[in-house]
Amino acid sequence: MKEHPLKERIIDGFRRIYPASPKPRVFRAPGRVNLIGEHTDYNLGFVCPAALELACFVAAAPNPAGRLRVYSENREELREWPVSDLPECRPAGNWTDYAIGVAQQLLRANHAIEALDLYVFSTVPTGSGLSSSAALEVSTALALLGGRALAPLELALLAQRAENEFVGMPCGIMDPYVSVFGRDLSAVKIDCRDLGNIIVPIPESVEILAVNSMVKHELGQSAYRERVRECASAVEAMRSRHPHVTTLRDADLEMVHELGSGPPALLQRARHVVSENLRVNRWVEAAAAGDLANMGALFVESHRSLQNDYQVSCPELDFLVDTALTLPGVWGARMTGGGFGGCTVNLVEPRHVAAFREGIAAAYRDRFGIVAEIHSCRPSAGAGEI
């Protein structure tokens, strides 16, 4: 097997921090970009993310002093705990919570935690919606397991529980799931109700690019919780006539239109979720047919629905999408992730990629004075040892 191009660099970094430790094993877990299916996960619908080449790497070797030491190269910070203290650790409110949260979940699932020196290095930008947090959790879990087997779905659920319960972030299953189940050159359509998936090969004649708006508006967190509540209210309103509807996953567009007599926001929120689930299925069909025009058109429909009905976009994301659609070779663009900042995702013809990068960056800098970061989102394999 070909060695991962970053492996030597990770091992060198490990040796610099822990010169006395033996040679480490190295584990990798990717970040992700959600291609379509936004705000559908907590409504138990469909999402279709792809794992990225951007990933978190954790090098691990035994620590002879009975301690767990964790160094983050990105933060340039070393923290340590006696292994015997791990079950009682409380959240510290910083990046180490992701590692300790995972360790505690492993202990709860009856996996012993050995004393280890861990070196963390991630190429996933943090806090921009490409899921650096799940990449950190999954790679840390693999390092702590040290090659001991854990069913892939268990691994994803364990990472989610660590983030929900220890970090205190009520995130869905999508991020750790695709970090575990990702496939080279393919997206993964996930059914958030039964947690099954299908692999969706991406046509080779398109490049996927994420454009990071570099903004994150405060509104995001409160709006997220408000949308979750609004979806529950929409379900409540539907249930008088349709008692089998327990989440918006069960609703259809006719039921959405029956909400017309209630508050307009409920109809709009429900219309987004129900139509977005349909779009995921249509997008997967378009991808299977290699129909780039349709894949792009569905991206744009998804964005307009998030912008106008779900109302989780922002001027920066709308500008990036609208500008992308004026550039040559762009099949489609949409915001990706929770909204109010973070990234857009773009489908671009390979021969137009260089001009796209330049054109979108220049326009964004002129309008907002911000240098956008642009990432290639070539779909990659899921987590494992490298």
What span, in angstroms and rounded, lies between the C-alpha atoms of 54 and 71? 19
Residue (105 or 268) nearer to ligand ADP, CB: 105
Least separation in angstroms between CB 127 and ligand ADP? 4
User: Would you give the DSSP letter of residue 45?
Assistant: -
What span, in angstroms and rounded, lies between the C-alpha atoms of 279 and 284? 8
Choose the contact partner of 96 out of Mg ion, ligand ADP, none; CB within 5 to 8 A by kind: none
In the residue annotation, 97 being an active-site residue is answered as no
Place of tokens 């590692």: 99
**97 and 167 Cβ atoms separated by less than 8 Å:** yes
* Binding of Mg ion by 34 (CB under 5 A): no
What span, in angstroms and rounded, lies between the C-alpha atoms of 132 and 171? 13
What span, in angstroms and rounded, lies between the C-alpha atoms of 314 and 344? 11
> Shortest CA distance to 18 belongs to which of 67, 82, 55?
67
Please tell me which residue in 41, 97, 175, 309 is annotated as part of the active site. Answer: 175
Residue (130 or 280) nearer to ligand ADP, CB: 130
> Shortest CA distance to 132 belongs to which of 337, 333, 299?
337
| Residues binding Mg ion: number (CB under 5 A) | 2
Residue (132 or 307) nearer to ligand ADP, CB: 132
What span, in angstroms and rounded, lies between the C-alpha atoms of 309 and 311? 6
Tokens of 234: 């929409």
**Phi/psi at 87 (5° precision):** -60, -25
CB atoms inside a 10 Å sphere around CB 263:
13
> Shortest CA distance to 336 belongs to which of 35, 125, 51?
35
Least separation in angstroms between CB 121 and ligand ADP? 7
Residue (43 or 131) nearer to Mg ion, CB: 131
Choose the contact partner of 95 out of ligand ADP, Mg ion, none; CB within 5 to 8 A by kind: ligand ADP
Residues numbered 308-337 forming contacts with Mg ion, rule: CB under 5 A:
none
Least separation in angstroms between CB 128 and ligand ADP? 6
Least separation in angstroms between CB 131 and Mg ion? 5
Binding to Mg ion by CB under 5 A, coded x per residue (else -) over 254-273, reads --------------------
Binding to Mg ion by CB under 5 A, coded x per residue (else -) over 98-137, reads ---------------------------------x-x----
What span, in angstroms and rounded, lies between the C-alpha atoms of 243 and 144? 45
Least separation in angstroms between CB 131 and ligand ADP? 4
State the helix-helix crossing angle for 132-145 and 96-108, rounded to 10 degrees. 50
Residue (63 or 212) nearer to Mg ion, CB: 212
> Shortest CA distance to 50 belongs to which of 164, 193, 200?
200
* Binding of Mg ion by 139 (CB under 5 A): no
Strand partners for 82: 67
Residue (83 or 130) nearer to ligand ADP, CB: 130
Choose the contact partner of 75 out of ligand ADP, Mg ion, none; CB within 5 to 8 A by kind: ligand ADP
Instruction: State the residues that interact with ligand ADP by CB under 6 A.
Output: 56, 72, 74-75, 95, 98, 120, 122, 126-133, 136
**21 and 115 Cβ atoms separated by less than 8 Å:** no
Least separation in angstroms between CB 335 and ligand ADP? 13
Binding to Mg ion by CB under 5 A, coded x per residue (else -) over 53-92, reads ----------------------------------------
Residue (19 or 93) nearer to ligand ADP, CB: 93
> Which chain residues interact with Mg ion by CB under 5 A?
131, 133
Q: Which residues are catalytic?
A: 175
